[in-house]
Structure 1
Amino acid sequence: MVAFTQGNIDKIEELFKDQGYKVRYEKGTFKTGACMLQNSHVVVVNKFSNLEMKIQSLISILNEIEVDESLIKEKHLTIYAQITKLKSVS
């Protein structure tokens, strides 16, 4: 389980950076809490979503992309393990 804290959202954002993605927070008419711009390495998160929704949305997108584990920095391995554990439970 990933706790819904600002520290964890920061770590998840770093996971995206490790993979070459940029996370942006913007307003818009989102049906979900976040989306990935087509054919790009940009993830856009609804800045008006609460912290829980932002984290859940980022985890959902992270589980959809192809992650190169060799690019993950050592300090981000713990949060990545928690996220992949959630994926295997679903």
Structure 2
Amino acid sequence: MKYTQTTLDKIERILDEAEYIVRYERGNFQSGYCILEQKKVVVLNKFLQLEGRISTLIDIVPQLRIVPETLSPEVRRIYEEVVAAAHAVNEG
């Protein structure tokens, strides 16, 4: 997966369609992010660079309660790519 603004936008679309809110905030995040599952909010460290934001979201997306069948076909394809990328990172 390429580390471009377009890639970040695509991953954020997954979260948007799954009704999650992505916020970039300042704070003490041990891992660079925080997930508030009950409120469907993902908070990322606002000081992360583009590559860090994408990498962090690739780590987060598979952990969330997203039902792929509820996503539009284009976003579902992106979701599947993100999940595959996360598995590749975790296995390698």
Task: Provide the aligned length of Structure 1 versus Structure 2.
Answer: 89
Match of residue 11 from structure 2: 12
Report the CA distance between 1:43 and its aligned residue. Answer: 0.3
Q: How many Å apart are 1:57 and its aligned residue?
A: 1.0
Shift of 1:14: 0.8
Q: Which residue of structure 1 aligns with residue 78 of structure 2?
A: 79
Could you say which residue in structure 2 is the equivalent of 1:48?
47
- Structure 1 residues not aligned, in runs of 5+: none
Q: TM-score, normalised by structure 2?
A: 0.84
Gaps of 5+ in 2: none
Identity of aligned residues (%): 34
- CA deviations 1:30-73 (Å, max 9, x no partner) are 11222112522000011101111111111111111122111212
TM-align CA RMSD: 1.5
Higher helix share: 2
TM-score by length of 1: 0.85
